[in-house]
A and B are shown apart, each in its own frame.
Chain A
Amino acid sequence: MMGKAYKYGNHIDTDVIIPARYLNTSSAEELAQHCMEDIDAEFASTVQEGDVILAGDNFGCGSSREHAPLAIKTAGVECVIAKSFARIFFRNSFNIGMPIMICKEVIDESEAGHEFEVDVKTGDIKNITTQKSYKAEPLPEFMLEMVEMGGLLKRLKSRGKQ
């Protein structure tokens, strides 16, 4: 799927991804309406299905709130590509099936508004605007297995049946 990029800096924390004042609900749709609100008031109203987020180091640091990847996913974001991720956000994203990729070069060479095409399974990232292709860091086998099984709880359920 093709989509446009939003670009943010380093250390984007989960408090700005979804401020705690909205955590009195776990409704994904309601959370998505306030996604990134405190650093990008336009995000929730302009984001479209298939768009990507580009970010620097340590994306998703701070609180463990799973509401953060959930809000991003529900807003329609196809994939978050960052130089690195904070560990709880990294784990949560796989657990809920929110695709994320690690790639330094694409962040340095791309701007907000560029058009992107990504394939999370193969790790292929294409910046359509600059016509440059990138390869994300390969995922650990363990994580790939979880993605293939449809997330943590589906994996748990299917193992329980074995």
Chain B
Amino acid sequence: MGMTMTQKIFASKAGLSEVSAGQYVEIELDVVLGNDITTPVAIDEMMKHGLDKVHDQSKIVIVPDHFTPNKDIKTAEQCQMVRKFVKDQSIEHYFEVGQMGIEHCLLPEAGLVVPGDAVIGADSHTCTYGALGAFSTGVGSTDMAAGMASGKTWFRVPEAMKFELTGSLNPWVSGKDVILHIIGQIGVDGARYRSMEFTGEGLSNLSMDDRFTMANMAIEAGAKNGIFEVDETTLSYVRGRGQREMTVFKADIDAPYDETIHIDLNKIEPVVAFPSLPSNTRTFDQIPEIDIDQVVIGSCTNGRIEDLRAAAEIFKNNAVHKGIRTIIIPGTQKIYLQAIEEGLVQTFIKAGAIVSTPTCGPCLGGHMGILGRGERAVATTNRNFVGRMGHPESEVYLASPAVAAASAVTGKITHPKEVV
């Protein structure tokens, strides 16, 4: 029997000629990732069990990005603990404030993940690197600890869903709208325990940034991983960045997929996910007038250069509506610098938005834009759960950078075509 892309990576990393869904395998890991929230717990677990040495310091990546630059004393202490561990264990890939970016924007940019890799990260959005044709998934801190100590981890080989893409995106429609559309269709557990594998002729019309956004939100459908077939777009992204040899895995013609979902990219419209689940999606014909207080453009989902360009396109001739706090967060230092060089940052500031150093910050209700009781935000982030961005009675509406920017301009949830 044939294998899916994910199954082929598992077979290769487990040293087996074949694997099938439901089988438990132990695989070699190329990258083990942690951040400032999850790494301290992993360090504690390692030390508690007398595992005092990491297996391979070159395969561990630690990015303090969630509550940094340190938001309070406790955070500073967590970061101090991480910094000491990094020094004691000679971890090669550690990104201090100054080099730090939002982890899932940073790792691909720095070439730390290449096609065919197997990656675990103690952060649920680690599934982002599936955009590169790698297997990558989020785990908890104990799994991170075991991965650091042994260089391996165990998995149940997943079943898979195939997403066959055709056509191309209309103006003001992006990868964010496609993935919100899919989650709205299959639900927040529609892909639970399974792989979401993206393929089809429409793939060539999606940029790398669109693909990162889509793979990033595979977890929001409950998937184990999302993965894109590697093509020329992937290869040209990786060229000049990839620090290791890559392997391109294609699904077999007879690969076992539980179901195939056809997505015609031409038919996707801007989508907004209403509180309090990413699957609670609506298109603009179903959206009433909704006043907002804040807009956040950034995060591991939408903090990349194309996202900032889409927002700037709206802001170049439109100011932020009076009283709407508009917070723009480039995903990495490189993206930040590029946004300055392209004049995007000037556009944002002239329009009345603020531009922050890279941080996960408000996405998870950490800092840099917390909502009070009854406040509403339109955000390009990935979750709109109860209390996600602050007070349990605040509301988060998930959307693309273009919709978020248009909403900042009017103070209401707005289709971009209304303001340009």
Check B383 against A65 for contact (C-beta < 8 Å): no
- How many whole Å from A87's CB to the nearest CB in chain B? 5
In the complex, whether B50 has a CB less than 8 A from a CB of chain A is: yes
Partner of B366, one of A21, A39, A70, A151: A21
**Contact between B38 and A65 (Cβ–Cβ < 8 Å)?**
yes
Q: Is the CB of A63 within 8 A of B124?
A: yes
CB distance from B162 to the nearest CB of A (A): 19
Give Cα distance in the complex from A65 to B224, angstroms. 16
The answer to whether A153 and B51 have CB atoms under 8 Å apart is: yes
Does B188 make an interface contact (CB < 8 A)? yes
Question: Are B192 and A58 touching (Cβ within 8 A)?
Answer: yes
CB-CB < 8 A to A77: which residues of B?
A: none
User: Are the CB atoms of A15 and B383 closer together than 8 Å?
Assistant: yes
Min C-beta distance of A73 to chain B, whole Å: 12
Q: Which residues of B contact A63 (CB under 8 A)?
A: 123-124, 364, 383
Question: Residue of A at shortest CB range from B387?
Answer: A38
Alpha-carbon distance between A92 and B146 when the two chains are bound, in angstroms? 12
Complex-state Cα separation, A95 to B45, whole angstroms: 11
Interface membership of B75, Cβ < 8 A: yes
Q: How far is the CA of A60 from the CA of B366 in the complex (A)?
A: 20
Q: Are A156 and B146 in contact, CB atoms less than 8 angstroms apart?
A: yes
- Residues in B with CB closer than 8 Å to A160 are 150
A1, B224: Cα distance in complex, Å: 34
Residue in A closest to B193 when the chains form the complex, CB atoms: A87
Task: List residues of chain A with CB within 8 A of the CB of B37.
Answer: 20, 23, 65, 67
Q: Are A66 and B388 in contact (CB under 8 A)?
A: no
State whether the Cβ of A57 lies closer than 8 Å to any Cβ in chain B.
yes
Question: How many residues from B make CB contacts under 8 Å with A?
Answer: 52
Total interface residues in chain A, CB < 8 Å: 41
In the complex the two chains form, is A86's CB within 8 Å of B142's CB? no
Q: Cβ of A154: which chain B residues have Cβ within 8 Å of it?
A: 49
Quick one: which of B37-69 are within 8 Å of A by CB? Answer: 37-38, 40-41, 44-46, 48-51, 66-67
**Which residues of B have CB within 8 Å of A25?**
74, 78
A95 lies within 8 A of B143 (CB): yes
Q: A157 near B49 (CB under 8 angstroms)?
A: yes
Q: Does A47 contact B (CB under 8 A)?
A: no
Bound CA–CA A11/B278 (angstroms): 11
Asked whether any CB of chain B lies closer than 8 Å to the CB of A2, the reply is no
| A88 in contact (CB, < 8 A) | yes
Give the chain B neighbours of A52 by CB distance below 8 A.
none
Contact of A151 among B71, B142, B224 (CB under 8 A): B142
A152 close to chain B: CB less than 8 A: yes
Q: Which residues from chain B sit less than 8 Å from chain A, CB to CB?
A: 24, 37-38, 40-41, 44-46, 48-51, 66-67, 71-72, 74-75, 78, 122-124, 126, 138-143, 145-146, 149-150, 154, 156, 188-189, 192-193, 219, 222, 224, 277, 364-366, 383, 385-388, 392
14 chain-A/chain-B pairs, Cβ below 8 angstroms: A15-B365, A19-B387, A21-B366, A25-B78, A57-B189, A58-B188, A64-B124, A65-B140, A87-B222, A91-B140, A95-B140, A152-B142, A157-B49, A157-B51
Top 10 A-B residue pairs of the complex, sorted by shortest distance between their CB atoms: A66-B140, A92-B140, A24-B74, A95-B142, A64-B124, A58-B189, A38-B392, A153-B49, A20-B364, A64-B138
